[in-house]
Amino acid sequence: MLSPNLSQVVLPENWQTNGFGLYLHWPFCMAKCPYCDFNSHVVASIDQARWKRAYLAEIARVGVETQGRLLNTVFFGGGTPSLMDADLVADILQATRTTWTTANDLEVTLEANPTSIEANRFAGYRDAGVNRVSIGIQALNDADLRALGRLHTADEALAALDIARNTFDRVSFDLIYARQHQTLAQWRQELRQALSMEPTHLSMYQLTIEDGTAFGDRHKRGRLSGLPNDDLGADLYEATQELCEVANLPAYEVSNHGRLGHESRHNLIYWRSGDWLGIGPGAHGRLTLEDQRWSTDTSLAPTTWLAAVEKNGSGEKTREILSPRETLSEALMMGLRITEGVDLSGYPLPAAFMQKTNDLADIGLVTFMDQRLKTTASGRPLINAILRDLFETLPRSVV
């Protein structure tokens, strides 16, 4: 169905078709990694009782407008959520069960770093209701861990992984590649080591240099040597796909590999354009209410967010209706990252968009069947270029 202006987007009840999740941001870390551009802060002390009151107040507030929904996932992100007291996690999860009906297979993920201090908390998180952990290992050798500013050693990472696997049914861990001075042979050897542990889920990210980070500042001054060129970066990506396929750990998203049934259900809510609530400093949310798609965000500064909750009764900084163009753009930006692609049946698509889709399909970068647009294995590494081409076909203004 074609339309010159996208003015008649038909939004499904996203929380029913694509999931409904809760994201809680814990903004504190023991140290700031030089590559990290997430909203994380290092402080001398944390009043966890005060944070608990704020989180519970926000859950109660957003629960009022989302009554009757089935909650599919809870995700504790950061920062370093494994610095949270287990009792705090337990109280938050108890509040979610009181506020919403939860799915029988509710997924509760907590991000963790593999220091011995944090690994010792795993049993407490399990007893609190966490059933999935995502561990930020990042590298399997001490030299690169030091270069990345990590506080753990490779031995500590492996020990924490063992504890996690003996504590939780579902465990994921992260690795960063395309690191300084890393060769293709070194990455293949390191990835083989990781795969020899028979993981059920791996998140692997190419190192990116972001503005505002310590690495970004060093790069601007010409003091960040050994970064891979584009050809090596492409080779590292292809090696990742090859080795993971052989190990029965296929990519279901650009940077995520998992065995069937072990995909991150919470992240799939993002990629499928479902609904989620974002609570905590810097947390974003998306809600479909009365046939409108809303975006929410919060203040980045922890003290500002806390004060807003305590004084104003809400941690939201803004809540805005997404335009039809923004809604479609987000669906494409997120959905083309996953191998299942994006369902475009609810969107009137301009003729120029369809022509560009056909052009991309002719050169093997996408497929479009039964209103579902997918990137191919060849197209996935080029997703940014594909999105740029598609976005150029969308009208700037809508009725």
Q: List domains and CATH numbers for the chain.
A: 20-269 (3.20.20.70), 272-391 (1.10.10.920)
How many C-beta neighbours within 10 Å does residue 43 have? Answer: 10
pLDDT exceeds cutoff 80 at 399: no
At 6 the pLDDT is 53
CB 1 within 8 A of CB 121: no
* Dist. CA 331–CA 342, nearest whole Å: 7
- How many residues are listed for the chain in this entry? 399
Print burial letters for 201-211: b (CB count within 10 Å at least 16), e (below 16): bbbbebbebee
Residue type, 319: R
pLDDT (tens digit per residue) in 47-102:
999 999 999 999 999 999 999 999 999 999 999 999 999 999 999 999 999 999 99
CB 121 within 8 A of CB 92: no
pLDDT (tens digit per residue) in 196-206:
999 999 999 99
* Dist. CA 52–CA 8, nearest whole Å: 42
Q: What is the mean pLDDT of the chain?
A: 93
The residue among 73, 202, 72 whose CA lies nearest residue 135 is: 202
Quick one: tokens of 210? 């972001």
What's the whole-model pTM score? 0.94
Which class for 294: exposed (0-12), middle (13-18), buried (19 or more C-beta within 10 A)? middle
